[in-house]
């Protein structure tokens, strides 16, 4: 008899909560950031329909946390650039119109939704390739699949984005 979702995640939490937190703390040095990202990673694991079917739940958890950490760093850099621009006296002409701002937010939301619609390994392969500049063989090793399978994942992701967002990424 298989474990329930809650029991499965509870057991994994007992084994991996501290290692995950330490992993994130080594990247951030800020306890609050590390704790927030760890919490979001656990939440994403819990939101999966059947986390017990994951080939390697620990790898999924750490990869999810790593992706969230990368997003957090990017967001912080973007905010810092924006604040620097503001301090430098960015003119109103430099500011996007309200319509462009809303449109950009909607586009980002659609891209995020499209990314989350991909199967887990496909999404992981795409993010490793695009956000970490990992090669296909490196991704294959990390995911425990063949290089050919990584190519198929990337093609699947690109086709999905093209269908969902249009050929020009509209």
Q: Which of 19, 30, 5 is nearest to 62 (CA)?
A: 19
Residues in the chain: 170
What does the alpha-carbon distance between residue 163 and residue 118 come to, in Å, rounded to a whole number? 12
What does pLDDT average to over the chain?
Answer: 85
Which domains, and CATH codes, for the chain? 1-90 (1.10.1740.10), 107-170 (1.10.10.10)
Count Cβ atoms within 10 A of the Cβ of residue 148 and give its class: 0-12 exposed, 13-18 middle, 19 or more buried. Answer: exposed
For residue 166, is it left (φ>0), alpha (ψ between -120 and 50) or beta? left
What torsion, rounded to 10 degrees, do the Cα atoms 22, 23, 27, 29 define?
Answer: -10
pLDDT digits (tens, 9 = 90+) for 8-56: 999 999 999 999 999 998 887 789 989 999 999 999 999 888 898 889 9
Q: Which 3 state secondary structure label does DSSP give 168?
A: coil
Is the pLDDT reported for residue 1 higher than 80?
A: no
């Amino acid at each position: 008899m298989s474990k329930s979702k809650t029991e499965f995640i509870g057991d994994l939490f007992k084994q991996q909560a501290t290692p995950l937190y330490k992993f994130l703390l080594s990247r951030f040095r800020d306890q609050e950031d590390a704790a927030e990202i760890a919490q979001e990673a656990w939440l994403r694991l819990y939101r999966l329909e059947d986390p017990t079917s994951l080939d390697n739940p620990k790898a999924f958890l750490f990869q999810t946390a790593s992706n969230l950490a990368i997003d957090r760093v990017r967001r912080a850099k973007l905010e810092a650039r924006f604040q620097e621009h503001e301090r430098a006296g960015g003119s109103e002409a430099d500011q996007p119109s309200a319509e462009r701002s809303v449109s950009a937010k909607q586009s980002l939301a659609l891209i995020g939704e499209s990314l989350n619609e991909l199967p887990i390994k496909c999404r992981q392969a795409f993010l490793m390739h695009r956000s970490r500049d990992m090669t296909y063989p490196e991704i294959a090793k990390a995911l425990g699949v063949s290089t050919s399978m990584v190519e198929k994942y990337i093609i699947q992701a690109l086709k999905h984005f093209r269908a969902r967002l249009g050929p020009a990424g509209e």
